[in-house]
Amino acid sequence: MKKSTIILVTILILTTLLVVIGQMFIRGRTDLNLSNLLPRVSNKIPETESLSSGVKTGPNVEVTVDFAEGTKLTKKINARTPYDALLQVVEDKGLKVEKKEYKFGSLVTKVGNKENNKDLSWTYFVNGKPGLIAADRYLLSPDDKVGWQYAKF
């Protein structure tokens, strides 16, 4: 390999490193800890399925369930996961929740008489951000705002 090619590759690598480091400082990030960017995950499936079987308590959160017809339920509760939160809010109103189990966790398929279909489905949000993992695997933190919506996917 020619000496000029080695010098050019070295300059390119150094320039790239300087740009990356510069971006970190400009954004005020001097660490490389990405854990705060990833969702809090539990690999253990919660043991409980309904209030009657005793949903375990968790942090205090605010939950809103939107049924898409102007009907919303909002409540402050203690829940470990968005799934636990949904169970507590709707079962207080006598509604049932149905789900389907997958390797990645549970998928809510029906709440009351609102069932997933080709146009509408149940999705959850935490602090305005859509859930990236199954609702029974996301671990809530104190004062999180959980939203469940029956809406277009």
Of 37-41, 97-101, 132-136, which gets the smallest average pLDDT? 37-41
> Sorting pLDDT into bands at 50, 70 and 90, what band is 60?
very high
Same domain membership, residue 64 and residue 23:
no
| Residue 41, pLDDT score | 55
Q: Are residues 124 and 56 in the same domain?
A: yes
Same domain, 21 and 87: no
Question: How far apart (Å, rounded) are the C-alpha atoms in residues 103 and 117?
Answer: 21
Q: What is the pLDDT of residues 45-56, one digit of tens each?
A: 444 344 444 445
Does residue 146 surpass a pLDDT of 70? yes
Cβ-based neighbours of 25, under 8 Å, separated by 6 or more: none
Residue 78 in domain: yes
What would the 3-class secondary structure string for the chain be?
Answer: CCHHHHHHHHHHHHHHHHHHHHHHHHCCCCCCCCHHHCCCECCCCCCCCCHHHCCCCCCEEEEEEECCCCCEEEEEEECCCHHHHHHHHHHCCCCCEEEEEECCEEEEEEECCEECCCCEEEEEEECCEECCCCCCCECCCCCCEEEEEEEEC
- Do 55 and 33 lie in one domain? The reply is no
**How many folded domains does the chain comprise?**
2
Are 121 and 107 in contact by the 8 Å Cβ rule? The answer is: no
The C-alpha torsion from 86 through 89 and 95 to 96, rounded to 10°, is: 30
Give the structural domain span for 26.
3-37
Answer yes or no: is pLDDT of 71 > 60.
Answer: yes
Residues 7 and 75 both lie in one domain: no
pLDDT at 77: 94
Q: Copy the structure tokens of residue 39.
A: 């969702």
Question: Residue 109: inside a domain, yes or no?
Answer: yes
More confident residue, 18 or 118: 118
Same-domain check for residues 24 and 61: no
pLDDT (tens digit per residue) in 105-138: 999 999 999 999 999 999 999 999 999 999 999 9
User: pLDDT-derived band of residue 43, with 50, 70 and 90 as boundaries?
Assistant: very low
Contact (CB, 8 A) for 82 and 148:
yes
Task: Based on the fold, state whether residues 66 and 123 are members of the same structural domain.
Answer: yes
Tally of residues, the chain: 153
